[in-house]
Chain A
């Protein structure tokens, strides 16, 4: 048609402008002394020799700040396994980035905590695997881990670094949620984050062990609501419910390529930590390309932006602006097609099958644990 040919190239960009990213998760390393069976790292872990150097990371941080990133999450693996953690924190802070250290605590010492405080670390998020040494160390696969975490929480408070306690909950520890919240209060945390396990990567391999029951999920939701009231103004409680028991999918990542991005230890740039489970996508690397070019122009980031990619079911649904079609990686895992409606959605033709599968997985079983990196 002639008017298509005559249209100037610029006019094609009628779609809403892509907003700059708010947050960046920097997976500094995949090395970690713990072996949690729900780890969100990929099954194929990156080797230490492939990791970005200090200078390469600082350059990525500078690009991120220029691009509009506000929050920088220093994560892993265990970020304390990087010897240059204090230097990286200092560099990020001097660029104006809000620095959040996401850590298991193992690998930190009191001296290192004080150095992080001096370097301007804004916030620390400490993971716990349970509320007793026995349960926590069994899940984390690391003896002495619980005790170390309690010490780390004290060092953070003494150094005046604001503390969030973070717990992934699953069938093995779902009954401990009220105790997790109380522990956060006792450790003087300002915030506690309770996130139901998401079944990607290692967690996918441990579904039978980790899938919560419907009763557990309902009780957890009530516990959180009561605790929010009891601790108002004292403890912020962030809770990620189990989407397998929800009616509608989660607004995964706040929408693909809309809010945040992930950098893997070797510099690949992902729209979310599980994105590499989608085989049709290929990901660019900060060693080869500018971060802004990857965010705005790469095929992987543009793959599920907007609604052109959506199946009709989603495109005609008023919730498309609420949940953006749900989680692409979950669609890949459960429907075998990353462009399908998230099978969690009650409108998905796959929902009934998923409900039956979840019930089977949540039933008591005597499965073995596939520890991260050891299975």
Chain B
């Protein structure tokens, strides 16, 4: 076995993998993240994070942007962003650019 497990940190740059996308579920009145055999209901915060995963900025950059926009402590936001992105990574929903 030669599988290297991806590590997510503040310096990671990621984007949604092909085949993973946000979808406005008008019937149930919610936003869902669709992936193979998975539909994950996501709240406004999760949607904002997913939309920020542009494959260019690091997670630290993204967290700093949110901290400024919402006037919140950057350490706390960075923790939330990394934890959520880690979860997406384990579910194989991300392409890790760097």
Contact = CB atoms under 8 A, between A and B. Distances in A.
Interface in A229-260: 230-236, 238
Contacts of A71: 34, 37, 39
B89 A233 contact: yes
Interface in B4-30: 4-6, 17-19, 21, 23, 25, 27-28
Contacts of B3: 185, 230-231, 234-235
Interface size class of chain A, counting residues whose CB lies under 8 Å from the partner chain? 20 to 34
A122 B19 contact: yes
B25 A68 contact: yes
A162 B36 contact: yes
B91 A236 contact: yes
A123 B28 CA distance: 24
Interface in B52-98: 89-92
Given A162-B17, A162-B18, A190-B36, A20 B92 contact: no
Contact of B19 (A68, A123, A193): A123
Contacts of A190: 17, 19, 36, 92
B28 A20 contact: yes
Contact of B25 (A70, A123, A161, A230): A70
Contact of B90 (A67, A160, A233): A233
26 contacts: A20-B28, A68-B25, A68-B28, A70-B34, A96-B23, A100-B36, A122-B19, A122-B21, A122-B36, A160-B18, A161-B18, A161-B19, A164-B37, A182-B1, A190-B19, A191-B36, A230-B3, A232-B90, A233-B6, A233-B92, A234-B4, A234-B5, A234-B6, A234-B92, A235-B3, A238-B37
B42 interface: no
A337 B24 CA distance: 42
Interface in A103-147: 122-123, 125
Contacts of B37: 71, 100, 164, 191, 193, 238
A98 interface: yes
A230 B1 CA distance: 8
A203 B37 CA distance: 24
B32 interface: yes
A191 B28 CA distance: 28
A249 B63 CA distance: 45
Given A230-B1, A236-B92, A123 B27 contact: no
Contacts of A233: 5-6, 89-90, 92
Interface in A201-233: 230-233
Interface of A: 20, 22, 66-68, 70-71, 96, 98, 100, 122-123, 125, 160-162, 164, 182, 185, 190-191, 193, 230-236, 238
Given A96-B23, A122-B19, A233-B6, A70 B39 contact: yes
A162 B91 CA distance: 13
A236 B18 CA distance: 15
A233 B6 CA distance: 6
B36 A164 contact: yes
Contact of A232 (B5, B23, B28, B34): B5
A211 to B, nearest CB: 27
A67 B19 CA distance: 22
A230 B19 CA distance: 24
A161 B39 CA distance: 18
Given A98-B39, A193-B37, 13 more contacts: A20-B28, A70-B23, A70-B32, A71-B34, A122-B34, A125-B36, A162-B17, A162-B18, A182-B1, A185-B1, A233-B92, A235-B92, A238-B37
